[in-house]
Amino acid sequence: MIDTNVLVAALRSSSGASHQVLLAADREEFEVALSVPLLAEYDDVCHRPDSGILIPASAIDDVINRIAQVSRRQVIHYLWRGVLPDPKDDMLLEVAVAAGASHIVTFNLRHLKPASEFGIAVVTPSEFLTLL
């Protein structure tokens, strides 16, 4: 699972661990789980004027489309609401649980910590790269 904040960081800079995670996903070095609502969140957040992403909108679309191509689509039923401190993160947990994901790659370690109760490791992009 790739959290939206990691995608934004990857699109803002090609020199960090987030970008390397995105490249590894493109090479299909690991399986990315994705739901339609999460894909819509990627699209919405990455196209916001205040996202700090400086590449053209068409390039953002290309990246998001590629993520959709290499990802395993996961249907979610919103069964895990209210588990995380920030309700906006519940969708991410829902996708991870439904997909049987082993990891959530994020910068939001504190809010996603309860995912460990479901056997899902919550790691930063740098930590995830050491596991590949």
Query: What pLDDT does 79 receive?
Result: 66
Give the Cα separation of 46 and 60 in Å (integer): 7
pLDDT digits (tens, 9 = 90+) for 21-79: 999 999 999 999 999 999 999 999 999 999 999 999 999 999 999 999 999 999 988 66
For residue 88, name the pLDDT band (cuts at 50, 70, 90).
confident
Containing structural domain, residue 80: 4-131
Q: Are 7 and 51 in contact (CB under 8 A)?
A: no
Coil vs helix vs strand at 44: helix
Give the Cα separation of 15 and 105 in Å (integer): 17
Which percentage of the chain shows pLDDT scores above 70? 96
Q: Which stretch of 62-71, 75-84, 87-96 has the lowest confidence by average pLDDT?
A: 75-84
Coil vs helix vs strand at 15: coil
72, β-bridge pairs: 33
122, β-bridge pairs: 104
Encoded tokens for 23:
């490249």
**Is 80's pLDDT higher than 70?**
no
Q: Are 33 and 71 in contact (CB under 8 A)?
A: yes
Q: What is the CATH number of the domain that holds 39?
A: 3.40.50
